[in-house]
Amino acid sequence: MHLGKSYSLFEFTLWSRRQLYASLACGSLPVLLYQFLGLKWLSIPVSVVVLLGTATSFIVGFRNVQTYGRALEAQQIWTEILSLSRSLGVMARDFPAAPAAGRELILRHCAWLTALRYRLRSPRVWENTGKAANMEYRKYYQVPEWETSLEQALARYLPQAELDSVLHAESRTTRLLGTQAAAIKRLLSSGEISNAFYLELGGVIRSLFVQQGRAERVKEYPYPRQYEVINKLFVSTFCLLLPFGILTEFEKLNASVTGVMHGHMIWLVIPFSTMISWMYLALEQVGESTENPFEGNPNDVPMARICRKIERELMDMLGEKSDVVEPVAAHGIVL
HEC readout, 112-177: HHHHHHHHHHCCCCCCCCCCHHHHHHHHHCCCHHHHCCHHHHHCCCCCHHHHHHHHCCCCHHHHHH
Give percent of the chain with pLDDT exceeding 90.
39
- For residues 114 and 81, is the Cβ–Cβ distance under 8 A? no
Cα distance between residue 325 and residue 2, in whole Å: 19
pLDDT at 329: 64
- For residues 257 and 265, is the Cβ–Cβ distance under 8 A? yes
SS3 (DSSP) at 72: helix
pLDDT at 168: 92
Q: What is the pLDDT of residues 29-48, one digit of tens each?
A: 888 888 777 777 778 888 88
Taking 50 as the pLDDT cut, the residues of the chain under it are: none
- Give 2's DSSP letter: B
Can you say whether the dihedral through the CA atoms of 246, 250, 251, 252 is positive or negative?
positive
pLDDT at 324: 72
pLDDT at 330: 64
CA dist 192 → 186, 187, 202 (Å): 9, 5, 15
pLDDT at 141: 80
pLDDT at 328: 61
Q: What is the pTM of this model?
A: 0.90
Cα distance between residue 205 and residue 176, in whole Å: 11
pLDDT at 12: 82
Beta bridge partners of 333: 2
pLDDT at 2: 73
pLDDT at 120: 94
* Domain coordinates in residue numbering, the chain: 9-332
